[in-house]
């Protein structure tokens, strides 16, 4: 079963706390929180999920290169491709409308998306859209990871005990096969 994350960046991967640590007080900089990035990596490894960028970062020129460079700096290993498969369209109104449009354009007839989650620090989504709301002061955290595993009915505790994730950019060792 294919799983999908609609991924915001500001407040999710680069939190206010990370910005303060790096001297970007008052704004989100390009420094990403290593804990959030490594949790996103773990999420990808145990669920085999793909990412669709739903962040305002999609409006930046060369957004994918900038995001991937900063995710690698924060700890995502160079030898594991970051599974971005698309970006939501830029539409007026709520971000939830952009996600609905992306899902409609990439319908199950074309791509069998069975389950998706939205990681975002805003709440501008339609009722019923599966939002995991992130506190922008801290970013994506272990509690959010656990909520997603429960939502997707993945017993990550069994998977996790067989997985060794190092915090270096050069080595990830795992004997866990992705969930199908």
Residue partners of 73: CB distance under 8 A and separation at least 6: 31, 32
Cα separation values, 122 from 81, 131, 168, Å: 27, 9, 31
Ranking 4-8, 55-59, 73-77, 99-103 by mean pLDDT, the lowest is 55-59
Q: What is the pLDDT of residues 108-160, one digit of tens each?
A: 665 666 689 999 999 988 888 899 999 988 899 999 999 999 999 888 765 55
Let me know how long the chain is: 180
Tokens of 147: 């909520």
- Report which DSSP code applies to 14: B
Alpha helices (runs of H) in the chain, residue ranges in sequence order: 16-21, 34-47, 63-73, 95-105, 142-151, 156-160
Domain 2-174 maps to which CATH number in 1.10.357, 3.30.70, 3.40.50, 3.90.550?
3.40.50
For residue 43, which of 88, 5, 81, 1 has the smallest C-alpha distance? 5
């Amino acid at each position: 079963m294919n799983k999908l994350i609609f991924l915001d960046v500001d407040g999710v991967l680069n939190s206010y706390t990370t910005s303060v640590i790096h001297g970007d007080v008052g704004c989100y900089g390009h420094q990403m929180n290593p804990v959030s990035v490594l949790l996103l990596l773990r999420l990808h490894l145990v669920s085999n999920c793909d990412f669709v960028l739903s962040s305002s970062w999609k409006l930046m020129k060369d957004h994918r290169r900038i995001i991937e460079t900063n995710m690698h700096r924060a700890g995502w290993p160079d030898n594991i491709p970051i599974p971005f498969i698309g970006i939501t369209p830029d539409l007026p109104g709520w971000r939830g409308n952009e996600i609905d449009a992306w899902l409609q354009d990439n319908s199950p007839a074309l791509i069998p998306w069975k389950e998706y989650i939205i990681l975002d620090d805003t709440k501008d989504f339609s009722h019923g859209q599966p939002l995991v709301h992130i506190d922008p002061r801290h970013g994506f955290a272990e509690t959010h990871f656990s909520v997603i595993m429960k939502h997707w009915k993945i017993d990550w505790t069994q998977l996790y005990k067989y997985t060794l994730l190092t915090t270096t950019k050069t080595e990830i060792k795992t004997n866990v096969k992705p969930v199908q």
